[in-house]
Structure 1
């Protein structure tokens, strides 16, 4: 009688294929982690840059509020100022609530107090091309309240930072 010997190489090949499948699945998961971490670091970089640009614009407006007339600043993908056609990000300055007057003091003896106008300004940074208002992809916005005396000689400013949307 003859014995039939089975080759052990078949079992070895199946074991090798299972190992290759396991390592390829593990590699796929690792690649997803690296891609997600890259995306998160890019979002963090954009948020940081948007905060810096909005704060810079707020400082400019606090120094000279008369320069506010619905202003736009355009940035390329590396956050350098550029023309509108090359933009990847853009900053918009808009006045949200015009001239809210403070109440006058009820006592008549303080006649030298001045009325002030409150200008509320929104500085927002968006990504992508300029589109309709409902479709804007806002990265960051900063609400700025500036008190401007009637004689326009001096003003005081206060800012409220709002987080990322």
Structure 2
């Protein structure tokens, strides 16, 4: 009786293929982890930069908001100020409730006391290429309430004239 001996190389090849499959799956999972960590790191960097830029703008606005209109500041991918055509991020300053503010101003003109005006301002930082698009990708926003005392110079001048007569 003859015994047929099977070659051990076939078993070795199957074992080697299983090991290669296992290591390739593990490598794919590790690459996904590294890619996700890079993405999270970039998002954290952008959030930090957006917070810094919004905070800087808030401090500038605390100095004076007399000429506050819709303002934009554009930044490139490295968060350096640039022209609109080269932007990757932008900061937008806008006044909240402008219509409500106008109504309050008209009603306050009738009052004789010293007026205090509360300006509500939103500073938002967005990412993307188009500042005017309807759907914006907001990174960070900061709402401000700044009190701006207003002198009633017309009323003060009229009372002085009346006192002199």
* TM norm. shorter chain > 0.5: yes
Kindly indicate which of the two structures has a greater share of residues assigned to strand: 1
Following the alignment from structure 2 to structure 1, what is the Cα–Cα distance between the partners of residues 38 and 144? Answer: 32
2:163 maps to what in 1?
none
Following the alignment from structure 2 to structure 1, what is the Cα–Cα distance between the partners of residues 94 and 150? Answer: 21
Native 8 Å contact 1:61 1:67 kept in 2: no
Native 8 Å contact 1:125 1:140 kept in 2: yes
Q: Alpha-carbon deviation of 1:148?
A: 1.0
Q: Residues 33-68 of structure 1, C-alpha deviation per residue, up to 9 Å, x if partnerless? A: 000000001000000000000000001111021231
Q: Alpha-carbon deviation of 1:131?
A: 3.9
Following the alignment from structure 1 to structure 2, what is the Cα–Cα distance between the partners of residues 36 and 76? Answer: 23
For the residue of structure 1 that corresponds to 2:148, the secondary structure is strand
1:75 maps to what in 2?
75
TM-score, length of structure 2 as denominator length: 0.81
Following the alignment from structure 1 to structure 2, what is the Cα–Cα distance between the partners of residues 132 and 28? Answer: 37
Based on CA coordinates, which of the two structures has the bigger radius of gyration? 2
CA RMSD of aligned residues (A): 1.9
Kindly indicate which of the two structures has a greater share of residues assigned to helix: 2
Q: Which runs of 5+ in 2 are unaligned?
A: 153-165
| Aligned ranges 1:118-137 → 2 under 5 Å | 118-129=118-129, 130-133=131-134, 135-137=135-137
Q: Alpha-carbon deviation of 1:115?
A: 1.3
1:9 maps to what in 2?
9
2:139 maps to what in 1?
139
Native 8 Å contact 2:71 2:92 kept in 1: yes
Number of residue pairs the alignment of both structures matches = 143
Point out the more displaced range, 92-101 or 140-149. Answer: 92-101
Native 8 Å contact 2:115 2:151 kept in 1: no
1:65 pairs with 2:65? yes
Following the alignment from structure 2 to structure 1, what is the Cα–Cα distance between the partners of residues 132 and 28? Answer: 36
TM-score, length of structure 1 as denominator length: 0.81
Q: Alpha-carbon deviation of 1:114?
A: 2.0
Q: Alpha-carbon deviation of 1:147?
A: 1.1
